[in-house]
């Protein structure tokens, strides 16, 4: 790779005009860092000084891989003096910093970092270093950085940023917390642009401090133009993952090189920002978006010191957003799979039947609740409500297997529900991935003008029978152990005649569980509320029952199967 310093490239050449290579710098360790902060070239001397094969450093973030404190502790990006030339395109040097060695120790170094241009034309930095003598550290104490914040203030802000942003796995909540952290402490305005999974850009937030509160500018939010690869404007570079930049109103008053630049000009004019710090939001695997902090009413432009802090905050936000997006993807996959596995209800002459499924509010809590209904030989209809233990993709997968096995046994064998569930229990214990589940399996059939229900219960909440006049009772007979315990015990059946115009509710525990009440209280509440809805249309009754479920009070999914007997 050719490394030059733009117009000053000749200062790196010898008298015979041959360009020096990094390998020729035998007395100094050297590495080249690209505009994303990644190490792209290392000389052999650097490997010797650091006790690390040079090839092991390639592709890694230079700050994360190398820069340490005197005792080996990580150094916040906000005080990484080695990164400043990457942001300022200048040169800096010092007598005392510490770099991580392969054995876990740190190497005290004297260093020089200068801006350069890589062989492909991109900007970067060249870092030269050699081991310092045993002299006492220069002792660069806590400096008073830009504004009124000391370095201790900034470290506290970074710690709070990490703690706050990683406390949620919801993208919207993470964005709200990010806004709260930086406005008005660092800026009057915050703008968050996110890259979508489809490859587009969405302006997720434009927020301003106004009269002591935070106000969204909805007119400035929404879809953004695509990011061109050739654009050199600050936001375009940030969205491609290039290093942070300070921009002013004048930055976007020049002829725009893209539609993104036009949108930025509109933003600066609408908000009145005179100075902005724009940093990429990087996740673990890819760029997530860009963070812009702007000053309008607040005097003074952003400084390089500010930019280092904003870049560090954006990096921490990127990790939190990356995790939140990963969990949301997991939720969508599990929920989609679960919804596809849930059946279409059969049409049974004379009966009304409907079902509902409500996914868990937490992305990590999607799993094994299911309902099922299917015709059986002899004119009966099978009814199933079940819940596989666990809340993840494995639970959803176990649910699919158990659901299919139950259908197969029930459709092939004209046996009582208890015998079908006994066979199912034996099959569950033989599954490759062990699973435990609760289930109610019932048969409903019209006999001599009456609708008869026969059922067995394997550890599941009992069905609720709601009569037309509002009387309710739980069908608590025929209870037994849940599936998958590997304890073979005889199961029982129970039977009941379903009164005309009554409603049978089969549900999972998400409908009755709560953090603020006991299970008995939850069942009593369901009974009372269902009684008040006894004469409501079946669909309206089910919607009302699910509407009482509060996401902040329940972290489980809910399945509900309802049956209405004709008059």
DSSP state of 427: H
- Please report which confidence band the pLDDT of residue 500 belongs to, taking 50, 70 and 90 as the band edges: very high
pLDDT of 416 higher than 90: yes
- Please report which confidence band the pLDDT of residue 468 belongs to, taking 50, 70 and 90 as the band edges: very high
DSSP state of 483: B
Tokens matching residue 502: 């009554």
pLDDT of 74 higher than 90: no
Mean pLDDT of 443-467: 96
d(CA 232, CA 251): 11
pLDDT of amino acid 389: 80
d(CA 437, CA 425): 9
pLDDT digits (tens, 9 = 90+) for 198-211: 889 999 999 998 87
d(CA 243, CA 280): 7
**Tokens 């399945």, residue?**
559
Instruction: List Cα–Cα distances, 452 to 146, 380, 383, 444, 455, in angstroms.
Output: 79, 10, 13, 6, 10
pLDDT digits (tens, 9 = 90+) for 522-547: 999 999 999 999 999 999 999 999 98
Mean pLDDT, the chain, integer: 84
pLDDT of amino acid 23: 55
pLDDT of 193 higher than 90: yes
Whole-prediction pTM: 0.54
- Please report which confidence band the pLDDT of residue 45 belongs to, taking 50, 70 and 90 as the band edges: confident
pLDDT of amino acid 561: 97
pLDDT digits (tens, 9 = 90+) for 91-112: 888 878 889 988 888 899 988 8
Q: Return the higher-pLDDT residue of 294 and 47.
A: 294
Classify burial at 311, counting beta carbons within 10 Å of its beta carbon; exposed 0-12, middle 13-18, buried 19 or more. Answer: buried
CATH code 3.30.450.20 region(s) in the chain: 6-131
Instruction: List Cα–Cα distances, 107 to 85, 97, 99, 291, in angstroms.
Output: 21, 8, 5, 34
| Residue 293, beta-bridge partner list | 190, 277
List, in order, residues 6 or more apart from 203 with CB less than 8 Å away: 191, 192, 193, 220, 221, 222, 223, 224, 263
pLDDT of 134 higher than 60: no
Helix axes 417-429, 393-412, angle to 10 degrees: 140
pLDDT of amino acid 236: 92
pLDDT of amino acid 535: 94
DSSP run (H or E) holding 425: helix 417-429
pLDDT of amino acid 140: 38
CATH topology of domain 151-332: Beta-Lactamase (3.30.450)
List, in order, residues 6 or more apart from 262 with CB less than 8 Å away: 225, 256
Lowest-pLDDT choice from 40-49, 241-250, 420-429, 544-553: 544-553
Mean pLDDT of 495-503: 96
CATH code 3.60.40.10 region(s) in the chain: 342-564
List, in order, residues 6 or more apart from 449 with CB less than 8 Å away: none
Mean pLDDT of 405-422: 91
CATH code 3.30.450.40 region(s) in the chain: 151-332
pLDDT of amino acid 17: 36
pLDDT of amino acid 235: 93
| Residue 457, beta-bridge partner list | 440, 479
**CATH class for domain 342-564?**
alpha beta
Q: Which CATH number fits domain 6-131: 3.40.50.2300, 3.40.50.300, 2.60.34.10, 3.30.450.20?
A: 3.30.450.20
């Amino acid at each position: 790779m050719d490394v030059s310093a733009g117009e000053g490239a000749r200062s790196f050449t010898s008298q015979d005009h041959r360009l020096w290579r990094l390998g020729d710098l035998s007395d100094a360790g050297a590495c080249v860092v690209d505009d994303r902060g990644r190490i792209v070239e290392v000389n052999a001397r650097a490997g010797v000084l650091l006790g690390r094969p040079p090839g092991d450093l390639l592709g890694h973030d230079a700050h994360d891989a190398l820069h340490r404190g005197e005792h080996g502790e990580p150094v916040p990006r906000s005080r990484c003096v080695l990164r400043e030339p990457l942001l300022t395109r200048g040169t800096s040097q010092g007598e005392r910093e510490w770099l991580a060695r392969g054995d876990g120790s740190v190497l005290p170094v004297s260093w020089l970092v200068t801006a350069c241009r890589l062989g492909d034309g991109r900007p970067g930095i060249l870092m030269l270093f050699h081991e310092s003598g045993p002299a006492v550290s220069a002792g660069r104490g806590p400096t008073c950085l830009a504004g009124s914040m000391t370095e201790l203030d900034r470290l506290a802000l970074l710690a709070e940023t990490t703690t706050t942003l990683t406390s949620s796995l919801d993208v919207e909540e993470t964005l709200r917390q990010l806004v709260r952290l930086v406005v008005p402490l660092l800026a009057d305005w915050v703008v968050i642009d996110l890259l979508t999974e489809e490859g587009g850009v969405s302006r997720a937030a434009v927020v301003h401090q106004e009269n002591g509160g935070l106000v969204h500018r909805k007119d400035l939010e929404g879809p953004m133009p695509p990011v061109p690869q050739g654009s050199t404007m600050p936001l375009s570079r940030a969205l491609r993952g290039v290093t942070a930049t300070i921009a002013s109103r004048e930055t976007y008053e020049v002829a725009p090189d893209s539609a993104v630049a036009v949108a930025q000009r509109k933003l600066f004019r609408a908000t009145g920002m005179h100075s902005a710090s724009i940093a990429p939001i990087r996740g673990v695997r890819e760029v997530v978006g860009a963070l812009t902090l702007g000053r309008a009413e607040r005097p003074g432009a952003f400084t390089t010191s500010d930019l280092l802090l904003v870049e560090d905050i954006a990096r921490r936000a990127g990790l939190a957003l990356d995790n939140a997006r990963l969990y949301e993807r997991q939720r969508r996959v599990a929920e989609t799979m679960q919804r596809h596995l849930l059946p279409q209800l059969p049409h049974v002459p004379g009966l009304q039947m409907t079902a509902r499924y409500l996914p868990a509010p937490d992305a990590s809590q999607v799993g094994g609740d299911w309902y099922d209904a299917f015709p059986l030989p002899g004119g009966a209809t099978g009814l199933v409500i079940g819940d596989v233990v666990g809340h993840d993709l494995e639970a959803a997968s176990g649910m699919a297997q158990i659901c299919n096995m139950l259908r197969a046994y029930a459709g092939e064998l004209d046996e009582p529900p208890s015998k079908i569930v006994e066979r199912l229990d034996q099959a569950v214990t033989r599954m490759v991935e062990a699973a435990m589940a609760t289930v109610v399996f019932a048969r409903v059939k019209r006999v001599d003008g009456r609708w008869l229900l026969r059922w067995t219960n394997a550890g599941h909440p009992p069905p609720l029978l709601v009569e037309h006049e509002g009387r309710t009772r739980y069908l608590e007979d025929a209870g037994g152990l849940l599936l998958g315990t590997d304890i073979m015990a005889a199961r029982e059946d129970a039977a009941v005649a379903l009164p005309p115009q009554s409603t049978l509710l089969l549900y999972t525990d998400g409908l009755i569980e709560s953090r603020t009440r006991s299970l008995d209280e939850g069942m009593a509440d369901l009974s009372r509320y269902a009684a008040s809805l006894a004469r409501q249309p079946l669909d309206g009754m089910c919607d009302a029952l699910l509407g009482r479920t509060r996401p902040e009070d329940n972290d489980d999914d809910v399945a509900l199967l309802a049956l209405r007997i004709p008059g």
